[in-house]
Amino acid sequence: MPSNTKGMNKTVQDLLLLENQQLNNDNFLLKLKSPVHLSGILPGQFVNVEIKSAREIFLRRPFSVLDVDYQNQTISLLVKILGRGSKKLTEITPGQKISVVFPLGKSFTFPDPGDRVLLIGGGSGVAPMLFLAKMCGLPADNVHVLLGAKTINDHINVDDYLKFGHFYYTTEDGSKGERGFVIDHPVFKEQLSKFTRIYTCGPNPMMKAIAASAKKANIICEVSLENMMACGFGVCLCCVEDTNEGHKCVCTEGPVFNVNDLKW
């Protein structure tokens, strides 16, 4: 189990799009083949994708790594359509090349062997949670994954990851799993004290609520932030988060932060 991210150097590469698969209404799975090895890319890290052709899309768009096949040098992304850039990205056909800057940011801190972890993903924040579930190195019984969405149609199929942990779901309308938000789920509301670490990625209000409970219960909690970025590798200082040590760059000092470092 890799424990930290010295990893590979950052690089700009043209990756070959192998698959662009629609998973549901607005989530797509992109699988890209890299000309260079991907060793050292870890859960929590992200890539910055160039979206060509439309003039209004000037900057790259950051996406978390959903999965890496180190052997075959492929990288998977989960892209949720939010605006023009993400929409355009889901329309690119396999066989085309996409310029990607990677690997960016710091990974989650890996759990210790005896840990019992709760991974909570909302929206596109599911991506780094699935990768972490796969890579964290714990027995499946100690890995619990709670995924939240608006309705059943917004949940993606996670069959490939079920073997890495216990999965729980919430929907706001009750169409899959428990009705409500992730913090309403019994595994969170009633069993939180059984966990030694919490990891989360999703909308800020969700992560803030989780962070508050984790702090109260004195459980280590890491969150992955999605601040607006221009460069993604630490030169523009646009992506900052206000922390207890002042402004920190989410792209290089994050996107993963321990909640105790944030002013939440």
Partner 1 sequence: MVDLGIKIHNVEFKNPVLTASGTCGFGEELSDFIDLSRLGGIVVKGTTLNHREGNPYPRMAETPSGMLNAVGLQNKGVKNFVNNIYPRIKDIDTNIIVNVNGSTIDEYIAVTEQINELDKIPAIELNISCPNVKEGGMAFGVSCPSAEAVVKAVRKVYNKTLIVKLSPNVTSIAEIAKAVEGQGADSVSLINTLLGMAIDAEKRRPVLSTVTGGLSGPAVKPIALRMVWQVYNAVKIPVIGMGGIMNATDAIEFILAGASAVQIGTAIFKDPTIPVQVIDGISSYMEKHKIGSISELIGGLQM
Separation of alpha carbons 96 and 93, rounded Å: 6
Distances (CA, A) of 14 to 50, 80, 101: 10, 22, 9
Partner interacting with residue 135 (select from ligand FES, ligand FAD, partner 1, none; CB below 5-8 Å by kind): none
Residue 12 interacts with ligand FES (CB under 6 A): yes or no: no
Question: What is the number of the residue whose Cβ is closest to ligand FAD?
Answer: 83
Of 250, 196, 261, 209, nearest in space to 64 by CA: 250
Residue from 100, 135, 214, 249 touching ligand FES (CB under 6 A): that is 249
Residue 183 interacts with ligand FMN (CB under 6 A): yes or no: no
Segment interacting with partner 1 (CB under 8 A) among 22-30, 49-57, 142-150, 203-211: 49-57
Q: Name residue, tokens 């996406």.
A: 63
One character per residue 26-65, x = contact with ligand FAD (rule: CB under 6 A): --------------------x------------x-xxxx-
> Shortest gap between Cβ of 109 and partner 1 (angstroms)?
23
Residue 16 interacts with ligand FES (CB under 6 A): yes or no: no
Residue 244 interacts with partner 1 (CB under 8 A): yes or no: no
One character per residue 208-247, x = contact with ligand FES (rule: CB under 6 A): ---------------------xxxx-xxxxxx--------
Both tokens of 261, joined, read 């470092």
Separation of alpha carbons 214 and 233, rounded Å: 30
Separation of alpha carbons 34 and 76, rounded Å: 11
Residue 239 interacts with partner 1 (CB under 8 A): yes or no: yes
Separation of alpha carbons 154 and 246, rounded Å: 36
Distances (CA, A) of 125 to 8, 65, 70, 114, 139: 24, 10, 22, 25, 23
Residue 50 interacts with ligand FES (CB under 6 A): yes or no: no
SS (H, E, C) 163-176: HHCEEEEEECCCCC
Task: Tell me whether residue 75 or residue 229 sits nearer to ligand FAD (CB atom).
Answer: 229
Residue 50 interacts with partner 1 (CB under 8 A): yes or no: yes
Using CB under 6 A, list all residues that contact ligand FMN.
Answer: 236, 238
